[in-house]
Structure 1
């Protein structure tokens, strides 16, 4: 009877530990995803702001003409 109770308590502790780890892993994955998408979005925004290639093309066209 004591052995059964100990086994049940052990199983409950293991389930609680797994639940805690799962929620921690989900939070970590969401954090990593948010950082990744933030870097990606910032990179696209920065690249869209760059105009030096347009200036070079205009200079090249002016030199050709």
Structure 2
């Protein structure tokens, strides 16, 4: 994200007087937001790992199926029946 996409930082001392309770509330909300973002990033990372794991399992099953079918030889030994003629 570019620096220009963010809102400008507010300086409460320069912009005017602010109540101490309001400043405490703002700091509390900032801490809660940081905790929320940290939790969401961890969940996103875990979801990515789970997706890779499930995709790997699916590809492994697919590869094993293809490998095991290549080893089957019961159709290779199939011979057509011989034609017999009845001569009497």
| Range class of TM-score, shorter chain | 0.7 to 0.9
Aligned alpha-carbon RMSD (Å): 1.0
Q: Normalised by the size of structure 2, how large is the TM-score?
A: 0.66
Q: 2:32 aligns with which of 2, 10, 17?
A: 10
| Greater RCO (Cα-Cα under 8 Å, separation 6 or more) | 2
Equivalent pairs counted in the alignment come to 61
Segments of structure 2 that go 5 or more residues without pairing to the other structure are 1-22, 84-88
Larger radius of gyration: 2
Higher share of residues assigned helix? 1
Instruction: Flag as ranges the 4+ runs of structure 1 deviating above 4 A.
Output: none
* Structure 1 portions without partners, runs of 5+: none
